[in-house]
Structure 1
């Protein structure tokens, strides 16, 4: 279902710093704009409350995940809150195995081909290329030449509506969007405007 959601719209919303009292309004405008994967990083205020709110209120075709998952024990907490996707900044095999054992979708962070192959061997569904600013489209193209056919790379870090094209032309099928889409202090109306700009840029390229 994760790859299906990304095929519909390859943009993942990363709501780092979002509060439980505002998350539903933001989630609703993201869904309306076309987002089908929303991530709440665990270093946000009361992240499990936000995950629980999004999962209970948004339609089933919108996957809700947790980001910055660093420990196997957090996987169980995410699952208990209704989270369906585990997103990591790294590729700790213990966390990967816990996520797969729990039946959750998995998007570990990778920064080298060695990490990418190792994460796929552990059952990663998609690979988060992080930080994208340090890699660029040339690295994407080189990786995709050697990774298994169908591997989904999601660059994360510094992605804007204006710089997606070079990555798409290199072969990526989606992006993780952080502060360019949401940062603490933005209203749901602010996020709606940004979301629509990203989605328009994505559909112009996809």
Structure 2
């Protein structure tokens, strides 16, 4: 499954910050059963590469698995070694983007201005994430979409809820990264499954 197909199937990215390797597979199963197709484990989680590798081995044929909070080219290489293929960053570090592209991986850097977005796209980014979306309202996304290449998806990440997804979608956001609203450290599988379904229903409604 390539990134654009995954985003078309479900434009929600699960951000499992703080997840442990023991939780990774059951939480991943709940998300995928609900219909989610892109999962990232931020690298400031406990033993993140073990979680990423477990998710990739178990679900890599059904979903895209990757890492978040990727800050260096060395970390890109470590993620690639797990077999995962998505690199998400909070910033637009061009060396990280270029390292991801060189390995044939999906690159989703965080941007907060058109200047950062164009620089990231120039370095080969697959898409850009407007981060934090609390500070980048839909009216700003709409203005970005008027000038950015049409084929580059803009994802809203940070503070996204089922209630505000419609406004971002109408502004041109192609998808959403969902963190604390879907998973917090210690969340049980039933809670994640219920929230996952709630977001899927909101996505379908818009």
The two structures share one fold, judged by TM-score above 0.5: yes
Pairing of 1:152-171 with structure 2 (within 5 A): 152-171=153-172
Q: Which runs of 4+ in 1 moved over 2 A?
A: none
Q: For structure 1, which runs of at least 5 residues remain unmatched after alignment?
A: none
Q: Give the aligned partner of residue 95 of structure 2.
A: 94
Q: Give the aligned partner of residue 132 of structure 1.
A: 133
Deviation at 1:94, TM superposition (A): 1.0
8 A contact 1:24–1:57 mirrored in 2: yes
Which secondary structure does the structure 1 equivalent of 2:160 belong to? coil
After the TM superposition, which of the residue ranges 194-203 and 144-153 deviates more from structure 2?
Answer: 144-153
Equivalent residue pairs, number: 205
Q: For structure 2, which runs of at least 5 residues remain unmatched after alignment?
A: none
CA distance in 1, matches of 2:120, 2:41: 22
Deviation per CA, 1:144-195: give whole Å up to 9, x if none.
0111112201010000111111001111111000000000011011100000
Deviation at 1:35, TM superposition (A): 0.5
After the TM superposition, which of the residue ranges 108-117 and 59-68 deviates more from structure 2?
Answer: 59-68
CA distance in 1, matches of 2:96, 2:124: 11
Which secondary structure does the structure 2 equivalent of 1:64 belong to? strand
Q: Give the aligned partner of residue 191 of structure 2.
A: 190
* TM-score (normalised: structure 1): 0.98
Deviation per CA, 1:112-155: give whole Å up to 9, x if none.
00010111111111111100000110000000011111220101
Deviation at 1:59, TM superposition (A): 4.8
